[in-house]
Amino acid sequence: MAQINGKLSENPARLLQKLIRFNTTNPPGNETDCIKFIYSLLKEAGLEPVMLGKVPERQNLVVRLPGKKDAAPLFMYGHADVVTAANQEWQHPPFEGVIDEEFVWGRGALDMKGGLTMMLSALLRAWHEGVTPPGDIIFAVVCDEENGGVYGAKYLTEEHPDLFRGVKYAIGEMGGFTLHLGKKRFYPIMISEKQRCSFKLTVTGPGGHGSLPVRGGAAAKLAKILERLDKKRLPVQITPPVKMTIEALGQNMAFPASLIFRLLLKPSLTDRLLALLGDKGKFFDPLLHNTVSPTIIRGGDMINVIPGEITVELDGRLLPGLDKGEMIAQMQDLIGSEADLAVTYFSPGPAEVNMGLFETLSDILRESDPVAIPIPFVGIGVSDARFFCRLGIQTYGFTPMILPKEIDFSRLIHGANERIPLEALTFGVNSIYKLITQSAF
Ligand SMILES: [Zn+2]
């Protein structure tokens, strides 16, 4: 058994195939079988993993590769759950992990069982080779990332913070893979992310019988507010991590792109420039503003009754480092006094960025791909980094992959035909192995 597993750790594609075959679609998740499989691999290799969880079917795993204790521990983590593959047309079944000449196919190949495979393979390789890194390497596989992290990262950081004592830096998902811009190969490394801040807006007005129309009622008030939200943006705000991202892009682009990026950072010009850029500016818009999207509208439930109250829920996204109070004030300015505004959910994310490990990660990428241009970037979604930052841990998105132009990461994750090139998988294992063995953190 040990020998079979030994081989598995040397064959990342086969290991990834095994992980994909556990259907960990969340909800409901049911990650425990997958976690147990990783547990047995580590245990048979002679390491001492532990399994922890709020409930038996939603377990997490933490293991430590002992280092010399000359440096702080380095932390690597990833999630074992995946999003649904239902109602999508796949070339190969999503939970078979088909391996062909070029790719491993399946749900999670990129997000993020591929990343877990890289971390696990690199860790086992270092262990089998007797490597003793400067600091301990802590590896965690968590559940429930795709649905709020309550059973996963949130639980671990709240109930077992001691497991991560002394950690300054971590690597996690979203970053370290090729972004083709012009003829250049950029490698964005996520250094921070936006924060979720949801709102509920209530408008009221005279109700009554549907046969007797009212003017200026709740529906009419709501229409005006929704139109304002559609036409206007919240104010431009240039936050330090976004500034770093856009500056790094600008410095590595030729004219006129270099100039455009510089001007994007001038608040008086930002919105005009975004309008001129059209589709090309879409990616930068949410990095330069807090945003809200109306998603759930509830009003009357009878065709012949005019509702006296209508509520709208808004998915709000706050720029990193900003406080929700600022966003409430911006929202009130925009929607006016006709509606009642309440915050229904706020999950603070990373505030200050610590760039201490960034150069080490960049050097590794440049070693693996000599023309790599590593740049910092800010995620517009949320990840488990928001829980670990509460323990003072800076996460970098770093699951390194060299990707050909045809592979569009953002379209494949959560979509049909998710797959990872075999070359990218090897690239990732080797890069993370270098991180484990070479650097002092
Ligand atoms: Zn993910």
pLDDT digit string, tens, across residues 160-190 = 999 999 999 999 999 999 999 888 999 999 9
Compute the C-alpha angle 84/85/91, nearest 5°.
Answer: 165
Beta strand pairing status for 74-79 and 169-172?
parallel
56 Cα: distance to centroid of ligand 1 (angstroms) = 22
Measured between alpha carbons, how far apart are the two ends of the chain, in Å? 35
* Predicted structure pTM score: 0.92
Band of pLDDT at residue 440, cut at 50, 70 and 90: low
Spatial separation of the C-alpha atoms in residues 76 and 17, rounded to whole Å: 21
Query: Which CATH class, in words, describes the domain spanning 195-347?
Result: alpha beta
7 Cα: distance to centroid of ligand 1 (angstroms) = 27
79 Cα: distance to centroid of ligand 1 (angstroms) = 7
Domain residue spans in the chain? 2-174+383-438, 195-347
Q: What share of the chain in percent tops pLDDT 90? A: 89
pLDDT tens by residue, 260-303: 999 999 999 999 999 988 888 888 999 999 999 999 999 999 99
354 Cα: distance to centroid of ligand 1 (angstroms) = 22
pLDDT tens by residue, 331-365: 999 999 889 999 999 999 888 999 999 999 999 99
Out of 3.40.50.360, 1.25.40.10, 3.30.9.100, 3.40.630.10, select the CATH number for domain 2-174+383-438: 3.40.630.10
Mean pLDDT of the chain: 94
Does residue 46 carry a pLDDT above 60? yes
173 Cα: distance to centroid of ligand 1 (angstroms) = 6
Mean pLDDT of 233-241: 96
Spatial separation of the C-alpha atoms in residues 233 and 238, rounded to whole Å: 14
Band of pLDDT at residue 439, cut at 50, 70 and 90: low
**Residue 6 or 360, more confident:** 360
If you compute the radius of gyration of the chain from its CA atoms, what whole number of angstroms results? Answer: 24
Q: Residue 3's pLDDT is what?
A: 43
Mean pLDDT of 200-207: 96
145 Cα: distance to centroid of ligand 1 (angstroms) = 7
And the tokens for 42? 């580590």
343 Cα: distance to centroid of ligand 1 (angstroms) = 26
172 Cα: distance to centroid of ligand 1 (angstroms) = 9
